[in-house]
C-alpha cells in the first residue's frame, strides 16, 4: 500500500513537471525535466558528472600555459556532449603523471653526470649560468624536469647522449633581442613544446619576446636616463628584476602598477628638466646679447653671435644644430686664418711706423748737430782774419754739409721705401678686413633658401628706412605666408616642407626686380622689401608672383606638388619703424587667410574690414 501511494506521488510529480515545462516554456531537455522534478518534489538537485566536472574546472588554477591547455581540452570535451575522448584524455593525464614521477630522478641523474663531465667543452661557470637561466625561466613550470634533462644531456659528448630526449637549442628570437645587451644576455634554452596548439605556442613566444623587450627597455632606455636620480634608478633596476621573475598574472599586475607609478614620477622630473633647459636658454640669450653689445665694432664676431641666437630662438632640432655647427666651424676656421693674417699685418704696420719715427728722430738729432757745427764755424770766422784759417773752416763746413746731405738723402730713401711698404700693408689690412666682413655675411643668409635671414632683413630694413628718410621715396613691404604649410609637413614630411620653402624663394627671386630685397623672416613666412614702389604697384607685383607660382610644380618625396601663399602689403610712413609696418603687413596677411587664402590684402583692406 505504501508502495502504491509512493508511486502515485511520483506520477503526480511527473505530470506536474510536464505541465510546468509547458507553462514556463522551457526546452524539454533531460536537464530541465530533472531540475523541475526535484524542485516540485522538494528535493535538492543532484549534479551530473558533466556539471560537477565544469564546477571543478573553474576552481582549478590557470597559472601556466600547460594548466590552461589541459583545462581547455576538458571544456572542449564537455561541449561536444560526448565522452568519446574521455579515455584518451585520462590515459594521457595518467601517463604524464607516471612520466613526471620518473623524470625527476632521470633529470637529476643526468644533471650530475653532465656537471662532472669535462668533455663537452663547457666549464663549470658556463654550466652554472645556463642552469640559473633554466631555473629563472621555468622554475614554476611543470616541464622543469624536461628542461633540465635536455640541458644536462646536451652537456654530454655526442657519443654518450641519451636518444629520444627533447631537443635543446637557443631560440633565434631571444638571441636577436638579447644581443643588444651582452652584459645581461644569458643563453636561453627552449624545449620543443609537446601537445600545445599552434596559437598557444605563438602566444607563449610573443609573451617571451615582450618580456625581453620590457627588460631591455628598462635596462637600455630608462635606467641610463635616471643618472643623478639614485632612488628612481634603484626602483627601475628592481622593476627589471621583477620583470625577469614574473610568471603569474598577479605578479604582472603588481609590476604594471609599479611601472606606471615610476613613469609618472619620471614624467614629473622631465617637466622640471624642461623648465631648467628653458631657464638655461634664457640665460644664454642674455649672455649673448651682452657680448653682442660689447663687440659691436667686430662685425665678424657679431655675425657668429647672431647665428647662435638664431639657433636657440627656435625649437631645438638635432639635425639643424649639426648643420649649423658644421657651418659655424667652417666660418670660425676661415675667420681664424684671416684674423691671424690681419694681426700679423697690423703688427708689421706698427713696426714700420716705429722705424719711420726712429728715422725722423735720427734726422732731427743729425740736424741739431749740424746746426751746432754751423754756429761754431760762424763764431770762428768772426774771430779770425787769417785767410788760411778761413779756408780750413770752409773745407770743414763743406765736408759736414756733404755728410749731412748724404744722411738726409739716405733717410729720405728709407722713408720712401717704408712709406711704400706701409701703403702695401694698409692695402693688405683693408683686404683682410673685407674678407672678414664677407665671412660675416655668411650668417646673414638663410642656409635653406639662400635669401636673407632675419638678421639680414633687419640690416636691409635699416638701410631702406634711412634711404626713405633722406629722399622720401616710397617703400612698400609685403609679408608672405605659405597656405596650409603645417598640413603639407604632416602629410608629406619635413623634407617636402623644406622643398616648398626653397621653391617659393626661387620663384620670388626670379619674379621680383633686382632692387627688391627678399628675406625669410622665419618658418614659412617671407618678407619682400620693394623700394621706390607704391602700394598699388606692390599689390600688382605680389599678384604676378602668385600667378607664376601656380604655374610651377615642385618635387616633394618624388611627387609633383603645388603651393600657394597669402600676402599682406603695407606702405612705409614717416612715423613707422620696422615693427609697426611689419605688424600692419602681418594683419593684412591674416585677413587674406581669413577671406579664402591665395589672396593679396593691404592695410587699406584692413581699414575697410574694420569699418564694416
The region, left, alpha or beta by phi > 0 then psi within -120 to 50, assigned to residue 346 is: alpha
Q: What are phi and psi of 413, to 5 degrees?
A: -65, -40
Q: Are 304 and 443 in contact (CB under 8 A)?
A: yes
Residue 493 CA to residue 506 CA, distance in Å, equals: 21
The count of residues in the chain is 612
Residue 518 CA to residue 515 CA, distance in Å, equals: 10
Q: Which residue has the cell 676661415?
A: 334
Helix axes 198-216, 65-79, angle to 10 degrees: 150
CA 102 from chain centre, in angstroms, equals 58
Computed on alpha carbons and rounded to an integer, the radius of gyration of the chain in Å comes to 49
**Three-state DSSP state, 171:** coil
CA dist 72 to 61, 69, 92, Å? 12, 5, 15
Interior angle at CA 59, CA 56 and CA 64, nearest 5: 115
For 57, counting Cβ atoms within 10 Å of its Cβ (0-12 exposed, 13-18 middle, 19+ buried), the class is middle
Beta bridge partners of 169: 190
Count of Cβ atoms closer than 10 Å to residue 434 Cβ: 11
| Residue 57, C-beta contacts closer than 8 angstroms, at least 6 positions apart | 71, 74, 75
Closest C-alpha among 491, 476, 469, 607 to residue 557: 491
Residue 57 CA to residue 164 CA, distance in Å, equals: 33
Q: Are 534 and 476 in contact (CB under 8 A)?
A: yes
Q: Are 520 and 453 in contact (CB under 8 A)?
A: yes
CA 238 from chain centre, in angstroms, equals 29
For 598, counting Cβ atoms within 10 Å of its Cβ (0-12 exposed, 13-18 middle, 19+ buried), the class is middle
Active site residues: 524
Residue 381 CA to residue 310 CA, distance in Å, equals: 83
Amino acid at each position: 500500500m505504501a508502495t502504491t501511494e509512493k508511486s502515485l506521488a511520483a506520477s503526480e510529480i511527473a505530470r506536474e513537471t510536464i505541465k510546468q515545462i509547458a507553462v514556463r516554456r522551457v526546452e524539454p531537455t533531460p536537464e530541465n525535466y530533472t531540475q523541475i522534478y526535484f524542485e516540485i518534489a522538494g528535493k535538492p538537485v543532484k549534479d551530473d558528472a558533466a556539471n560537477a566536472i565544469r564546477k571543478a574546472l573553474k576552481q582549478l588554477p590557470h597559472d601556466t600555459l600547460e594548466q590552461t591547455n589541459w583545462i581547455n581540452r576538458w571544456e572542449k570535451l564537455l561541449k561536444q556532449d560526448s565522452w568519446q575522448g574521455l579515455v584518451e584524455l585520462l590515459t594521457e593525464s595518467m601517463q604524464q603523471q607516471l612520466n613526471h614521477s620518473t623524470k625527476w630522478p632521470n633529470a637529476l641523474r643526468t644533471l650530475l653526470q653532465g656537471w662532472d663531465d669535462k668533455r663537452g667543452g663547457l666549464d663549470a661557470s658556463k654550466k652554472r649560468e645556463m642552469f640559473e637561466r633554466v631555473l629563472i625561466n621555468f622554475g614554476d613550470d611543470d616541464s622543469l624536469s624536461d628542461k633540465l634533462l635536455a640541458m644536462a644531456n646536451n652537456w654530454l659528448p655526442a657519443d654518450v647522449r641519451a636518444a629520444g630526449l627533447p631537443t635543446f637549442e637557443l631560440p633565434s628570437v631571444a638571441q636577436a633581442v638579447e644581443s643588444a645587451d651582452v652584459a645581461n644576455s644569458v643563453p636561453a634554452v627552449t624545449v620543443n613544446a609537446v601537445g600545445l596548439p599552434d596559437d598557444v605556442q605563438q602566444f607563449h613566444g610573443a609573451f617571451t619576446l615582450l618580456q625581453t623587450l620590457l627588460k631591455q627597455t628598462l635596462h637600455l632606455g630608462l635606467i641610463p636616463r635616471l643618472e643623478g636620480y639614485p632612488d628612481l634608478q634603484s626602483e627601475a633596476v628592481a622593476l627589471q628584476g621583477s620583470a625577469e621573475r614574473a610568471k603569474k598574472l598577479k605578479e604582472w599586475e603588481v609590476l604594471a602598477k609599479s611601472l606606471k607609478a615610476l613613469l609618472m614620477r619620471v614624467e614629473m622630473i622631465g617637466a622640471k628638466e624642461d623648465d631648467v633647459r628653458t631657464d638655461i636658454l634664457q640665460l644664454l640669450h642674455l649672455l649673448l646679447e651682452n657680448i653682442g653689445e660689447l663687440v659691436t665694432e667686430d662685425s665678424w664676431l657679431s655675425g657668429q653671435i647672431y647665428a647662435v641666437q638664431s639657433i636657440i630662438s627656435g625649437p631645438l632640432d638635432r639635425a639643424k644644430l649639426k648643420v649649423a655647427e658644421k657651418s659655424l666651424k667652417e666660418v670660425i676656421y676661415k675667420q681664424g686664418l684671416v684674423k691671424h693674417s690681419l694681426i700679423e699685418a697690423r703688427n708689421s704696420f706698427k713696426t714700420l711706423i716705429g722705424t719711420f719715427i726712429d728715422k725722423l728722430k735720427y734726422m732731427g738729432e743729425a740736424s741739431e748737430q749740424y746746426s751746432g757745427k754751423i754756429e761754431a764755424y760762424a763764431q770762428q770766422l768772426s774771430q779770425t782774419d787769417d785767410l788760411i784759417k778761413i779756408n780750413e773752416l770752409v773745407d770743414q763746413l763743406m765736408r759736414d754739409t756733404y755728410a749731412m746731405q748724404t744722411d738726409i738723402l739716405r733717410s729720405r730713401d728709407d722713408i720712401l721705401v717704408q712709406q711704400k711698404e706701409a701703403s702695401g700693408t694698409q692695402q693688405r689690412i683693408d683686404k683682410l678686413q673685407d674678407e672678414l666682413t664677407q665671412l660675416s655675411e655668411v650668417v646673414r643668409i638663410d642656409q635653406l633658401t639662400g635669401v636673407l635671414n632675419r638678421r639680414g632683413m633687419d640690416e636691409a630694413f635699416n638701410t631702406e628706412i634711412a634711404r626713405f628718410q633722406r629722399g622720401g621715396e616710397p617703400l612698400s613691404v609685403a609679408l608672405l605666408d605659405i597656405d596650409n604649410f603645417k598640413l603639407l609637413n604632416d602629410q608629406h614630411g619635413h623634407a617636402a616642407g623644406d622643398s616648398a620653402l626653397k621653391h617659393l624663394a626661387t620663384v620670388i627671386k626670379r619674379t621680383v626686380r633686382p632692387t627688391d630685397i627678399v628675406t625669410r623672416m622665419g618658418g614659412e613666412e617671407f618678407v619682400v622689401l620693394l623700394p621706390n614702389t607704391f602700394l598699388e604697384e606692390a599689390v600688382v607685383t605680389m599678384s604676378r608672383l602668385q600667378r607664376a607660382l601656380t604655374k610651377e610644380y615642385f618635387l616633394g618625396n618624388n611627387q609633383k606638388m603645388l603651393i600657394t601663399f597669402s600676402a599682406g602689403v603695407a606702405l612705409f610712413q614717416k612715423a613707422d619703424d620696422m615693427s609697426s609696418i611689419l605688424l600692419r603687413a602681418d594683419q593684412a596677411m591674416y585677413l587674406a587667410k581669413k577671406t579664402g587664402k591665395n589672396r593679396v590684402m593691404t592695410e587699406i583692406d584692413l581699414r575697410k574690414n574694420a569699418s564694416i
